[in-house]
Amino acid sequence: MKKIEEKAVAFAKSIWEDYLVNRDLLKLTKVFDDNASYIGTGDGEICYSLEQVRAALLGEEEEWNGHFTIDDQWYEVRVMSNEFVVVFGGFDAHEASDNPLVAAMHTRFSLTLRVSGDTFKVVHLHHSVPNFEQLEGEFFPKTITEKRNEEFRHALEQKTNELRRMAQLDSLTGLLNRVSVEQEINTSLEQGAEGVLLMIDIDDFKGINDVFGHLAGDTVLKVLSDRIRDSFGGQSIMGRVGGDEFVVFAQKTAGRDSIGQTAQQFCERVVKPVMDIPDCSITVSIGIALAPDNGSTYSALVRSADQALYERKKNSKNGYVFAG
């Protein structure tokens, strides 16, 4: 860097040091040219004369007497003639304070300097803060209309995703519906997963509806859904596939005995009374199919589990049985 350019950068640095770090605003009033002008970051922060620049600096000193620390800074110089030099750059700074909610600056500037021998005077200073909403490569920041359109698109996308998810769920229980549970289980099986499918059916559900009413029946379905979530949550795929039929599919991570133990524990947990319906308790029967032993598609596994479930109900209820 040539000598005049080095001196110009040093001069520009000293201005920001005095303005931010030392807060020597009186000293700063002496670096401006008699015909100085200034544009700051505020909407009305424009000075057309040296008197206005000095008044603005001294007025700022009365409003705030804190200090900043400069974290990062860069400078470029353009020598316009023997008489004028332009220095432009930017810096990041934060308020030197123990307060965690400190003020911070990310700013850019340009200085037009008049050169006289080894002396510099500021003819014009332009100080600005970038618009963070302006994207890289975007010449103009977004207009208010564009911002509102973007907000609308975002809200519409969220609502669309919400509706799409709602369409996948059973409206009564909040579990996956029949179509969605089949799609998700098939997707898992296509990836080569070894899995366990449980077909869960409420024993004598028709009797519950007949004795306690259909609203009570809906409550029972919701209660059972909650108990399924509590017992098989995590990575399991859970859905309601019929009036009182539920499917749970999970990765096979244990042997047959452990799977049977889990199914039995669930049967025992289900027997707890339904709090909102006095004298009502429920039991379930479970048919269990293993992938790939009993099939490698949803349809095959459900068919095997359903046959096992039928055998269980024919002999005795409130328990589980594995598909053959």
Active site residues: 244
Print burial letters for 266-304: b (CB count within 10 Å at least 16), e (below 16): bbeebeeebeebeebebebbbbbbbbeebbbebebbbbb
CA distance 216 to 244: 13
Contact 109, 126 (CB under 8 A): yes
For the chain, what's the residue count? 324
| Residue 113: CB atoms within 10 Å | 27
> In three state form, how does the secondary structure of the chain look?
CCHHHHHHHHHHHHHHHHHHHCCCHHHHCCCEEEEEEEECCCCCCEECCHHHHHHHHHHHHHHCCCCEEEEEEEEEEEECCCCEEEEEEEEEEEECCCCCCCCEEEEEEEEEEEEECCEEEEEEEEEECCCCCCCCCCCCCCCHHHHHHHHHHHHHHHHHHHHHHHHCECCCCCCECHHHHHHHHHHHHHCCCCEEEEEEEECCHHHHHHHHCHHHHHHHHHHHHHHHHHHHCCCCEEEECCCCEEEEEEECCCCHHHHHHHHHHHHHHHCCCCCCCCCCCCCEEEEEEEECCCCCCHHHHHHHHHHHHHHHHHHCCCEEEECC
CB atoms closer than 10 angstroms to residue 175: 24
